[in-house]
Chains A and B, each alone.
Chain A
Amino acid sequence: MIEEKIICIGCPLGCETTLKIDDQRKVIKITGYKCKEGRQFVLEEYRSPVRVLTATVLTQNSARPLFPVRTNRPLLKTQLKEAAKALIGVKVKPPIRVGQIILPNIMNTGVDVIATDDLIS
């Protein structure tokens, strides 16, 4: 049986949790969390860590050189760097409303990249 420590990043509290894992890699016990969402988060984090990607993309015809975006759902942690690269060629033009889809289905994950700001000009 092994113990793994995972910091819950579900909210800024950042509770330090401890997972007891048996030989079949099954989680037997979790301690240290402060809310049920946190417990769920940590469980999933152990099984398959995911992260929201927040980044910027280049613009065209705009006074602003960059535009902020995010994925509308988390990607697998291992996909982050590749996802950042996938945004290199993306160029956005005004007008854009916050929440608008900028790049649908990034890397065929079913996750969309959306605008996090308005782009007026």
Chain B
Amino acid sequence: MKFSEVDVAVIGSGPAGMAAAIKAKEEGAEHVLILERQEQLGGLLHQCVHNGFGLLYFGQDLTGPEYACRFVEKVRDLGIEVLLETMVTQISGDRKLTAINSHEGPIHLQPKSIVLAMGCRERSRGQLSIPGTRPAGIFTAGTAQRLVNVEGFIPGKKVVILGSGDIGMIMARRLSLEGVEVKGVIEILPYVGGLIRNEAQCLHDFDIPLLLEHTVTQIHGEQRVEAVTIAKVDKNKRPVDGTEQNIECDTLLLSVGLIPENELSRLAGVDLDPLAGGPVVDERRETNIPGIFAGGNVVHVHDFVDNVSWEAEIAGTWAARLSQKGDFEKKEKITLKPGRNIRSIVPQTISGQNDVTFYIRVKEMEEKVRLKVGDIYHRAFRVVKPSEMIKVDLLQKELNLLKGNSSELVVECEKGE
């Protein structure tokens, strides 16, 4: 394939990238190219040796690598071109893409459409400004996961995990099974940051102490981590003086947040939604730049990989259609506005002419609320949690109920059932 003939270029080959590429090909795009910076397809799926993947998408309980295999096989069967160990370094507003690898050197493309599927990165210690020294032995949970599940190393034998996000809890279990003493999972909120099921099967099952409403206030050790100080926090998440205790450990894992990786999006001039973390997209997952689409964790952090793939398929579908049609008619846009206790809504804009599925995240845990989308939809919830994404399906005919020429739709959590 000549690089000058790419119809759809997909950046990233995780559960989003592969799904988008496959869908694009199935929708009739001839030349689909995946650009992946790692040595193999699959993104982070390879390091997720645990199960819980594909329950919805495949109706089976698969591990990360198994989930990846299904897609990799399809990518091969469909003849989708793949460039591995290739880093995209630049995207311009008119879809000019520069990438680089050892074989070709700098590569220049101008695909008819691009799907951004770069996933996310993890929040680092530096961003938390945890006071103390800067020794070896501090890892983000995802990096530790790669170490333990792919590279063949165990970071330490006495580990403290800050943050009860899913990755942190999964690693608590994984490390325990590898003979590590996991001294505790420290969580600043009064509830667990990831799925309840992970609290059960990772922490309870292995008798790993969970300290809610606590945080790490200091790291000790000049060369290697020697201990951390933890303290209880008040309602404003500030450490309470006098509640400090030291925990001896040689490793600190951080599972304190995922951030959509949008450096390339920024370079291209794509508008980002500071609430969701990724590009502002419409129901076709097209960004403000015609021909640049996005799907998966790069748009907003998902709970379930199944939704990541489904969302990316939307992006792949329309990226393929655009590459064949040339352009979509730009309809009037309706903007979604986050109201009470709503953190983010994806897609952020819709045309109102198609069925749409909204993915919503709330700001805080709340019990007995009614989720409302304007006046056209409402649903009661016993409890809503920031760690659990809410899906709302709206049919086009329901959107037709929007009164007048409203260009704004407010999504909010109303108190009471």
Contacts and interface: CB of A to CB of B under 8 A. Distances in A.
Q: Does A touch B (CB under 8 Å) in the complex? A: yes
Interface of A: 7-9, 11-14, 16, 51-56, 58, 64-66, 68-70, 77, 80-81, 84, 98, 116-118
Interface string B329-342: 00000000000000
Given A8-B197, A51-B201, A66-B152, A116 B177 contact: no
A7 B65 CA distance: 26
B201 A54 contact: no
A98 B176 CA distance: 26
Given A66-B149, A66-B152, A77-B205, A84 B178 contact: yes
Given A12-B195, A14-B200, A98-B65, A51 B304 contact: no
Interface stretch (B43-51, B124-132, B209-217): B43-51
B55 A12 contact: yes
A55 B174 CA distance: 8
- Chain B interface SS verdict (over half): helix
A118 B69 contact: yes
B324 to A, nearest CB: 33
13 contacts: A8-B197, A9-B200, A11-B55, A52-B51, A52-B61, A54-B63, A56-B149, A66-B151, A68-B149, A77-B205, A116-B65, A116-B66, A117-B66
A12 B64 CA distance: 15
Q: How many B residues touch the partner, as a band? A: 20 to 34
B181 interface: no
Contact of B49 (A58, A68, A81): A68
Contact of B52 (A8, A12, A56, A65): A12
Given A11-B55, A12-B52, A68-B49, A58 B152 contact: yes
B267 interface: no
Contacts of A14: 195-198, 200
B39 to A, nearest CB: 9
Interface of B: 46, 49-52, 55, 61-66, 68-69, 148-152, 176-178, 195-201, 205, 303-304
Nearest to A11: B55
Return the 7 tightest CB-CB contacts between A and B, nearest first: A65-B152, A14-B197, A14-B196, A117-B65, A7-B200, A68-B49, A9-B197
Contacts of A69: 49
A78 B69 CA distance: 30
A23 B69 CA distance: 49
Contacts of A55: 49, 177
Contacts of B64: 68
Contacts of A53: 177
A16 B191 CA distance: 14
B214 to A, nearest CB: 22
A34 to B, nearest CB: 11
A117 B200 contact: no
B47 to A, nearest CB: 9
Contacts of B198: 14
Contacts of A9: 197, 200-201
Contacts of A80: 177, 205
Contacts of A13: 197
Contact of A51 (B46, B69, B205): B205
B162 to A, nearest CB: 22
Given A9-B200, A13-B197, 16 more contacts: A7-B196, A14-B198, A54-B49, A54-B63, A55-B177, A66-B152, A68-B46, A68-B63, A68-B64, A68-B149, A70-B66, A77-B205, A80-B205, A84-B177, A98-B66, A118-B69
B197 A98 contact: no
A14 B192 CA distance: 13
Contact of A116 (B49, B148, B199, B201): B49
A116 B63 contact: yes
Contacts of A58: 152
A117 B50 CA distance: 12
A7 B66 CA distance: 26
Given A51-B205, A116-B65, A12 B304 contact: yes
